[in-house]
Amino acid sequence: MSFQWKDRYALGIPEIDRQHGKLFEIGTKVYDLALLNDSYDHYDEIMGVLQELLDYTEYHFNYEEELMKTHNYDGIEQQHKDHSFYVLKIKSISSKDIDENQQKTTIEIVDFLSDWISSHILLSDRNYATFFKEKGIIA
Ligand SMILES: [Fe+2]
Ligand SMILES: [Fe+2]
């Protein structure tokens, strides 16, 4: 398991790449918490970083979907479905008994996050980036 930004995630749209980078930054914080194997209570930190993750992803998904709407991107519905699935999944994992199973739940979130975010960027987001570039919308 690892959580790291890779150059191949870059889509060539600076603001989007910046936002994706920020998602990885927050993901790394979740990852670091998941690796802590001490006997201290990290409940507040975990809940804090999960809230940060949800808030920032909501901002990012809205930003993407607004861009798609403005430029009539026909893949918007699928993107919206993917985004909603992600939010529900993170919410459902984090609503489980985090207090009792702090490390297990945090690892579960990191696993889901690293799989989902890399494949979503590499497949779905790359498609709209190609569409935008072909239309000359964003250089
Ligand atoms: Fe994205
Ligand atoms: Fe997306």
Q: How far is the CA of 113 from the centre of ligand 2 (A)?
A: 13
Q: How far is the CA of 11 from the centre of ligand 2 (A)?
A: 12
In which element (H, E) is residue 60 found?
A: helix 43-70
CA distance 11 to 8: 8
Q: How far is the CA of 70 from the centre of ligand 2 (A)?
A: 15
pTM across the whole model: 0.92
Provide the pLDDT for residue 139.
Answer: 47
Provide the pLDDT for residue 2.
Answer: 65
- Could you say which residues of the chain have pLDDT below 50? 139
Question: Domain locations in the chain?
Answer: 13-133
CATH 3.30.1490.20 assigned to domain 13-133? The reply is no
Ion ligand 1: residues, CB within 5 A, are 125
Q: How far is the CA of 94 from the centre of ligand 1 (A)?
A: 21
36 DSSP 8-state letter: -
Provide the pLDDT for residue 100.
Answer: 78
